[in-house]
Amino acid sequence: MYRYVFGPVPSRRLGKSLGVNVVPLKYCNFNCIYCQLGRTRHVINDLRMFYPPEDIIKEMEVVVRARNYDYLTFIGDGEPTLYAGLGKLIQWARNNQDRPLAILTNGAKLIDEEVRSWLSELDVVKVSTDAGSERTFRLINRPHREITFDRFIEGIERFREVFSGQIWTEVMLVKGINDNEEEMERIGEALRRYRPIGSI
């Protein structure tokens, strides 16, 4: 019935999560080996106006009034921070409904000041940190060529400096790649750089 807004769906961390999907299938700046959506067809790292923000807002206007939910969560069938209209949607959600706002992102666009400023309006930002070194980062996340491991962590670190909400992190352990003690120690070092409130 709706094109962009779905749910609420039960989430272990977010309770009843009303999702807003802002990116078409597999436009992402990563190509993770474990991605449940399959191989990334469009490996991009620039912001794109995939849909008119007004169309998404029109749906949100109806659905937030009709449904009961704990969090309004921005996601994508790829990486949601690649959507150029995201800042507008976050502003609308902040001003027009009263539930906390979250995003599920890989975190790589946080190196971009504009994206940091959009996401600083949220309550929860869930990023991924599957690697503690450039080599493992390339093996697991297979990022766009512009993205290096150091810049990736630096972006989240910079965001930490301006963000008063919660940063959550997700660490996907892949057998034989990042599940050894040395890499886990390095992942721990990366997490200490941006201090999430918890990791799963």
Instruction: Please report, as ranges, the residues that interact with ligand SF4 according to CB under 6 A.
Output: 28, 30-32, 35, 37, 40, 78-79, 106
Question: From CA 194, how far away is CA 187, in angstroms rounded?
Answer: 11
By beta-carbon proximity to ligand SF4, the closer residue of 35 and 173 is 35
Least CB distance to ligand SF4 at residue 50 (A): 14
Q: Taking the CA atoms of the chain, what radius of gyration do you get in angstroms?
A: 16
Least CB distance to ligand SF4 at residue 164 (A): 25
By beta-carbon proximity to ligand SF4, the closer residue of 35 and 84 is 35
By beta-carbon proximity to ligand SF4, the closer residue of 99 and 109 is 109
Least CB distance to ligand SF4 at residue 144 (A): 10
DSSP state letter for 163:
-
* Beta pairing, strands 124-128 & 166-170: parallel
Least CB distance to ligand SF4 at residue 126 (A): 11
| Sequence-ordered list of residues with C-beta below 8 angstroms from that of 67, at least 6 positions apart, any chain | 7, 8, 18
Both structure tokens of 195: 């201090």
